[in-house]
Chains A and B, each alone.
Chain A
Amino acid sequence: MLRELHAYMRLTREWDLRYEKMFKTGALSKWYSSVGNEATTVACGSAIEKGDALVSLHRDVGAILRHYVNIEELFPDIFPEKMSLVRQPLGGDSRDRLFRLACQMLGREHGFSGGHERSYHYNHMEPDHGLIHLGMISHLGSMIPVAAGAALSFQQQGLDRVSINFIGEGATSTGDFHEGLNIAAVWKLPFILVIENNHWAFSTPTSQQYACDNLASRALGYGIPGVEVDGNDPLAVLKVMQTAVKRARAGEGPTLVEAHLGRHRGHSEGDDSLNQVPSDELKGYLDNDPMDLIETRLLSSGIVSRAWLQEIKERSASLIMEVVDEAVAMPEPTPNTDRNTYAN
């Protein structure tokens, strides 16, 4: 199980490292890195299944990759035996999804929004494979009610599906956090809200964001469970999420999860917001890199060798390099104003 989580975390890390490099060379105008969020996002993506709704933000590519991609299909020689212990893959073409995701990041015509929307601001639906993914708008917190609405649709249809949504700790200050979570609680919607608390919203520390000790305790005010978890520990996050998902599927309503993790990067690459994080605090985050932690754990428990870790790292990096290069070579959208504003 740990090896499975690790493989997706590694793929996620290499994805970010590739785009961070492209940003530095000027090939990308903007990048929001999810380095440091992988343990939480991959674990959350591991807790959902076919037909569930994933509603993500800009640091959640770990959950997206976990949901979209079957690692056994990508690396059949490394994973010859069946490895999907935690959850079943969706089916469908993993590599093509990865390629289209790369196109989406680069605004190419073949991306999910045909170049009309930036990075993770897209929806991707594959009804045949039970893939329901709603992306973000730039207003943080706004997707909370929308994600709860996906849960409402499941409830209306009598389905035992769930909807999960990520937000940062900054968005807990919005009105939509309160309104969305409150309605979800009153209606017992199958909804899980995951706060990725990296303790800094752009340049604002938690001391200037909220006055309570932790955010999970806010759940008490909504009459739902609230759980704090170490967001650098994928097994701990997975356990919390599996409990929340089970509860939601049983019709018992939403759960609020607060995953504590570290701020490893600026708000976006190229801004200097990381300078606001005191150096000892930053060091604490970097010393607790979830990637290092899981690899140490895998090595110390003798599950894999250092050479294996190196191999999966290289293979992930080269696959992503290949896919991104293919995306770069794809045509840019032809300038036009044809896109429909209204559904016909």
Chain B
Amino acid sequence: MPTESKTLEENLLYIDALSLALRDEMREDPSVMLMGQDIAGHGGAFKITRDFLEEFGDRRVRNTPIAESGTIGIATGAAILGQRPVIEMQFADFVTCGFNQLVNVAAKMYWRTECSVPLVIRMPGGGGMGAGAFHSQNIESWFLHSPGLKVVAPAFSDDAYRLLRSAIKDPNPVIYFEHKFLYRRERSDLQEMQIPDRIEGEANVRREGHHLTSVSWGWMTHRALEAAEVMEKEGIEIEVIDLPVLSPLDLSGIFKSIEKTEHAAIIHEATRTAGFGAELAARISDEAIWNLDGPIRRITYPDSPSPFHKGLEAARIPSVDVICDGWREVLA
């Protein structure tokens, strides 16, 4: 007899899932500490750590000066010696100022020294809000090209909760992309669950279909699900696979799906050239090309910065129409 899992939260907002995960980890493990710009009294630019200062005190909830490199470096040193720092980048875009600490110090530390760095960098990223070139980027590829980092980009509130808690427990540096467009739009129920203490690769089928395998993460998984509804009306069944974890990468679910559908497309909000879609297409080509009956299509942002005007921005983000057209071309 299947056991009914208990619902902890109904219709949990994505942004509240993040707060809840942080709070639950901080209550469970006194070595978890938060650092970031304006996260203490102000509760962060998005209010994700509102009231944390009152509950956990100023030693565990630390405002930092505007110093991304210094903050990541200090968190790395503290992590080596037993703390579990979680850094909030005010916007994912700002992490560039701490790039060296991340890719050369934190990412390579375990390989170089066998000292683990249990560090999480929360990265509010993504577009859709007309926020311009420095508050909208999707920069996962930069970190996927740096061995030693794990990279997470959840699309759903329940995944966001579970993966943030797992990221904090994981002994490696984890880059945690949280999508700003989803903060107050995505809701899902949070079931009682086991929280793994490691981030492992996952590829989750969010909609079954037998004509084409579509792979995406973050906001684009929601767009893919919408587009799949449109295609259903044309009698085409799209299998939508969501990748909440980009590194480590689990490709087995994608390969299995392609055996059935014989068609593959990848959607990402990040720019096209050397985006993660290129890597996925190459892996699919390496391992599963004989199962394909059409080209592997990438549906992406063009190679351009993000414009301020919402209309100009929307023209670049893969829309439901653009996604459907891309899929139709693969199936033609």
On A, residues with C-beta under 8 Å from B are 53, 112-113, 116-117, 121-123, 125, 132, 134-135, 137, 139, 142-157, 163, 175-176, 178-180, 182-184, 186-187, 339-344
Residues in chain B near residue A134, CB distance under 8 A: 77, 80, 113, 115
Decide if B81 is an interface residue (CB 8 Å cutoff): yes
On B, residues with C-beta under 8 Å from A are 31, 33, 59-60, 62, 64-65, 67, 69-83, 100-101, 104-105, 108-117, 147-148, 150, 171-172, 248
A341→B110 contact, CB < 8 A: yes
B111→A150 contact, CB < 8 A: no
Q: Which of A123, A152, A340 contacts B115 (CB 8 A)?
A: A123
Question: Given the interface contacts A125-B115, A152-B78, A183-B70, does A342 sit within 8 Å of B83 by beta carbon?
Answer: no
A153→B62 contact, CB < 8 A: no
B248 to chain A, nearest CB (A): 8
B172→A342 contact, CB < 8 A: yes
| A122–B79 alpha-carbon span in the complex (Å) | 17
- Provide 21 A-B residue pairs closer than 8 Å at the C-beta atoms, listed in order of the A residue: A53-B81, A112-B113, A116-B111, A121-B112, A123-B114, A132-B81, A134-B80, A134-B113, A135-B113, A145-B74, A149-B73, A149-B75, A149-B76, A150-B81, A152-B78, A156-B78, A178-B67, A179-B65, A179-B69, A180-B73, A342-B150
| A340–B111 alpha-carbon span in the complex (Å) | 6
| A150–B76 alpha-carbon span in the complex (Å) | 8
Question: Given the interface contacts A132-B81, A340-B110, A341-B147, does A183 sit within 8 Å of B74 by beta carbon?
Answer: yes
Question: Given the interface contacts A156-B33, A175-B69, A180-B73, does A343 sit within 8 Å of B116 by beta carbon?
Answer: yes
B96 to chain A, nearest CB (A): 12
Given A122-B113, A149-B81, A340-B110, 14 more pairs with CB closer than 8 A = A113-B112, A122-B112, A123-B80, A123-B109, A123-B115, A137-B108, A146-B77, A148-B77, A149-B74, A149-B77, A153-B77, A153-B78, A155-B59, A179-B70
A150→B78 contact, CB < 8 A: yes
| A80–B307 alpha-carbon span in the complex (Å) | 76
Q: Which of B77, B81, B112 contacts A145 (CB 8 A)?
A: B77
| A183–B109 alpha-carbon span in the complex (Å) | 22
Question: Given the interface contacts A122-B113, A187-B62, A343-B171, does A153 sit within 8 Å of B83 by beta carbon?
Answer: yes
Which residue on chain B has the smallest CB distance to residue A135?
Answer: B113
| A137–B171 alpha-carbon span in the complex (Å) | 21
Of the listed residues A148, A182, A343, the one surrounded by the most CB atoms of chain B closer than 10 A to its CB is: A343
